[in-house]
Structure 1
Amino acid sequence: MWSSSATDSEQPSPNLIPSLPDDVALNCLARVPRSQHLSLSLVSKPFRSLLSSSVFFNVRSLLQCREHVLYLALRPHGPDGHLLWFSLHRNTLSSSRPNLLVPITPMPTSYAGSAYAVIGYNIYVIGGSIDNIPSPHVWILDCRFNTWQPGPSMSVGREFAAAAVVDGKIYVMGGCVADTWARSTNWAEVLDPAKGKWDPVPSPVDFRWKWMHACAVVDGKVHAMADRGGVVYDTRNEVWESVGIELDLGWKGRASVVNDVLYCYDYLGNIKGFYMKKGFWKDVRGLKKDLPKFLCGATMCDVGGKLHVLWEEKIGKEIHIWCAGIEVTKNEEDELWGKIAWSDKVLTVNKGSSMVYCTGVPL
């Protein structure tokens, strides 16, 4: 009989579904779409307990029923500026009900200029600063239960560093002035979550002055963009090199990699994609009638193999945050064509608020 936390002194839990063995009931419930989990939790206490258990998420993973959920970090307007976190509630069963960003538990401490990385169910918030003092601390958001816990601290404090995940390890670089032996030696570090410890990554001296503003991974290589020239780190061969001219000139601002193509928006506000292995840019066609020009205040991420774009619409004293899920296809001429799968106003906040980070997490 299934139980989330059975002890010898507790009474046996009732069956999840009367007349069904619990393993069969669990197999059925794990297939229910996430959009219906709130309603499911209201059915009974055993259901509610199941939905908040690691067993439930493990079974969903084994059945390949996981759905990718969009998470957004937003800095509100005001003197406090404490970072707020949201997850996207998709209503996949009814087109008449909107998709909405729902607030989750905020991080215990709010930093400015943090780097971010995702491994499995977890979002890592890496470094940042408080009162302009860079921090080495790491916080981990367990997206299954929307709970926070401290992670292994880095060797040095960092602000506006680049972070990326390759082969289950987090690589972080930059965000510190290499003016001491410790900062120079640890300008780049790597975290293996299984070991729970950061280790230095040897890096060329002439790269250590760079300050990063964006990062992406393609084919095991970390591409980190700096104000003047980006760097590429081949994690498997432990080789550093400079970013190519085409990518360096075209990648300005936030970007996301979906199916080995890096997407961002150009100075005209149009979405474009860069073929990393072929070394050229292509405009994403078919979107001009459905999307505004993203001159500023937009961000994007990969959510389950679809490009998702979030942007701001200023209405009076409010900012409306919109989100669109985009399916991008390639033809034989390497042209990129985008089709809007869905688009909704997902959140309303006070004017002066700004989006900081978004990502997709499989749950």
Structure 2
Amino acid sequence: MTALIEGLPDAVAIRCLARVPFYLHPKLELVSHSWRAAIQSAELFKARQEVNSSEEFLCVSAFEPENLWELYDPTHDLWITLPILPSNISHFARFSVVSTAGKLFVLGGGSDAVDPLTGDQDGIFATDKVWSYDPATRAWNPRASMLVPRAMFACCVLDGKIVAAGGFTNRRKSICNAEIYDPETNVWVQLPDLHHAHNSACSGVVFGGKVHVLHKGLSTIQVLENFKQGWIAHEYSWLQGPMTVVRGKLYVMSNWFIYKQEGESRRMIVSASDFRRRIGYAMIGLGDDIYIVGGVNGPDYWNCSVKVLSDVDVLTLGSERPAWRKVAPLTRCRGTILGCTQLRI
């Protein structure tokens, strides 16, 4: 068996390959069979952490095209198209997405297909299915199913484990159930139930080392700090709107301004009035920045047209005067964003 790089032990060669940017990995695999095996090995991704060459990406899926995901590389300002998610659910939507252990996880959700004759939903509303995408092998794999079928539920990563809570199950019934998944053992375990369910979608955010579950229109936020202790309900005067965490700080878009939430108080950071007509977008933090991704420009008083977007706008928070800028648009995904998260590879 030949060495990966002539004159170097394979352990050293792996650390050299680990410094090559992720977007070039498909080209490295063309060098030889041994290079292909090395690029797809767990050792390479472990070496990327050891030599501090890990990269952060955005993962995005939109209404068009169906079941397609793209990765955004902020260092090289380019998008990488992933293989199609091999789900047999048509018009897959209402799922949750997170990343942990160097993999992307897509959980729950159901079909958003509509019967063209009756206008009724033509498919299952919620499932318990879980998929993971491994960037080493660049393949999707089914994982252990959740204990309960879910759609429109809160999903977060705490201490490397995935917490799923609330949402709706089949027949659109709101639920209080919560569970936790260990990606190392591929096992789901029941958590204490939320204190209450609500007939609206819920979302989750990890902030201050705790999972916060929020229901639209409610000021009560249910907080999980300790897996055994269970949920604690708090009344917070947080603004309603899209939220994201950047460098441990919570940011909210409300009334077309970006605010930094500091405990019970808040501070306005910058105007977001340019997005006044924009709906169905994703707001997410990556590095020191806030990204506004995709969506649709809806009609207004002067213009009745609807424009499907692939735009990506970025707010850099580290500067003295935060300002918006545009980066490379989505290459294939367009329109309403169905899922968006970070992935560290």
Using structure 1 for the length normalisation, give the TM-score.
0.76
Listed as ranges, the gaps of 5+ residues in structure 1 are 1-11, 93-97, 332-336
Q: Secondary structure at the match of 1:118?
A: strand
Q: Secondary structure at the match of 2:3?
A: coil
- Picking from 282, 286, 308, the partner of 2:267 is 282
Counterpart in 1 of 2:120? none
The answer to whether 1:187 aligns with 2:166 is: no
Counterpart in 1 of 2:67? 83
Q: CA deviation at 1:135?
A: 1.4
- Picking from 241, 248, 256, the partner of 1:260 is 248
Listed as ranges, the gaps of 5+ residues in structure 2 are 112-122, 298-304
The answer to whether 1:301 aligns with 2:284 is: yes
Q: Deviations over 1:48-86 (max 9, x none)?
A: 332222221111112121011211111226xxxx32111
Letter in 1 for 2:110: S
Q: CA deviation at 1:163?
A: 0.9
Whole-angstrom distance in 2 between the partners of 1:126 and 1:115: 5
- Write the mapping of 1:5-16 to structure 2, written as runs, cut at 5 A: 12=1, 14-16=2-4
Whole-angstrom distance in 2 between the partners of 1:139 and 1:224: 23
- Write the mapping of 1:8-87 to structure 2, written as runs, cut at 5 A: 12=1, 14-76=2-64, 82-87=66-71
Q: CA deviation at 1:164?
A: 1.2
The answer to whether 1:156 aligns with 2:135 is: no
CA spacing shift, 1:123–1:34, aligned 2, 3 Å: closer
Letter in 2 for 1:168: G
CA spacing shift, 1:116–1:104, aligned 2, 3 Å: same
Letter in 1 for 2:336: S
Counterpart in 1 of 2:221? 231
Q: CA deviation at 1:218?
A: 0.8
Whole-angstrom distance in 2 between the partners of 1:302 and 1:68: 11
The answer to whether 1:122 aligns with 2:110 is: no
Count of residue pairs brought into register by the alignment: 322
Q: Deviations over 1:207-231 (max 9, x none)?
A: 1235333220112322222133142
Q: Secondary structure at the match of 1:321?
A: coil
Whole-angstrom distance in 2 between the partners of 1:72 and 1:35: 16
CA spacing shift, 1:115–1:308, aligned 2, 3 Å: same
Counterpart in 1 of 2:293? 310
RMSD (Å), alpha carbons: 3.3
The sequence identity of aligned pairs, in percent, is: 21
Counterpart in 1 of 2:234? 242
CA spacing shift, 1:187–1:136, aligned 2, 3 Å: same
Counterpart in 1 of 2:83? 104
